[in-house]
Structure 1
Amino acid sequence: MANQIKQSGDGLALQTTKPARTAGLVEEDEDGNPERQADVRVFAFDGLLLLTDVDRVDDDDVAELAATAARDTSSLHRVMDTSIQIAGNGYQVQLPPAKDAGFRVGDQPACTAAPNMLVLADGESERLAADLETIRREQFAIADNEG
């Protein structure tokens, strides 16, 4: 079951423990203690939030992902930086531009993880989220082969 967007501090947030681990946005030692929590850039589109690791996703790759989402949704609202934070027994991400994308407290967006990226999508944007995942996996594979 997807987690619900919640009120946290002055804005909205989403518990993202498993997807953040899958995407490599958090790293833990063998005992499960956090060693790294990514700084992320959040892009708000109609019905979709794109989160990329500021330090691990190349600017050209971010531009390709954001342009794809903008073309598909015919929108781009705000872009803001935030970070993955420890919350409860896991991790959450603050979502400053979530309301711009149409998300509200209690919404349960689908969460798609790819290397150093998460996509939160409403029901109408799940196909786009899958497309962005595919693009990111291809980008990651190319970068891995070049490195």
Structure 2
Amino acid sequence: MVNTIKNPSDGLALQVTEPARKAGLVEENDGETMRRADARVYSFEGLLLVVDREEIDEAHIVELVKAAAGDTKTVRQAIDGKVQTARHGYQIQLPPARDAGFREGDPVPCHPAPNMLVISKRSLWDEEHGEDEPGRIAASLLTIRRDQVGQTTF
């Protein structure tokens, strides 16, 4: 899924309704929001890793962050973000996005895995694949997370 980075009054954010639902970052019942994840956003050059702080073990987060840092050869910062209600869906605040090279209006792929989203700049996205397919680095992180929870498909 590709949406563009927006800049509401509280900083950069991304509309993530479908991926957030699929990742379990939000839970709904009969159209009512029952839970929105407390998230932490890790930033690397051209890559953001959004994890549900309540649902992913620290050891698993360390493995994911280490893999992202190794693949991108960078590590910026980690800042708590919020999954917010936006219009008829959800958005995620991306406090460290500017440090990772994201700007308002950037089109960015967003890919879900259990309790996690991977958001990447197009420069890290494998252009020979379709819009809904992750690039190599994002695909690697998605595979690691699926292996952590024992899911082969998602």
TM-score range, shorter chain: over 0.9
Structure 1, unaligned runs of 5 or more: 143-147
Match of 2:14 in 1: 14
Task: Quote how far apart the aligned CAs of 1:53 are.
Answer: 0.2
Task: Quote how far apart the aligned CAs of 1:32 are.
Answer: 1.3
Quick one: percent identity of the two aligned structures?
Answer: 52
Task: Quote how far apart the aligned CAs of 1:119 are.
Answer: 0.4
Match of 1:145 in 2: none
Q: How high is the TM-score relative to the length of structure 1?
A: 0.93
Asked if 1:107 is matched to 2:115, the reply is no
Q: How high is the TM-score relative to the length of structure 2?
A: 0.88
Q: Secondary structure at the match of 2:136?
A: helix
Q: Secondary structure at the match of 1:106?
A: coil
Q: Secondary structure at the match of 2:110?
A: strand
Match of 2:143 in 1: 134
Match of 1:118 in 2: 117
Task: Quote how far apart the aligned CAs of 1:10 are.
Answer: 3.1
1:37-92: CA deviations, max 9, x gaps? Answer: 00001000000000000000000000000000001111111100112110100000
Structure 2, unaligned runs of 5 or more: 125-134
Rounded to whole Å, the distance in 2 between the matches of 1:44 and 1:8 is 20
* Aligned 8 A contact 2:47 2:119 in 1: yes
Equivalent residue letter for 1:92:
Q
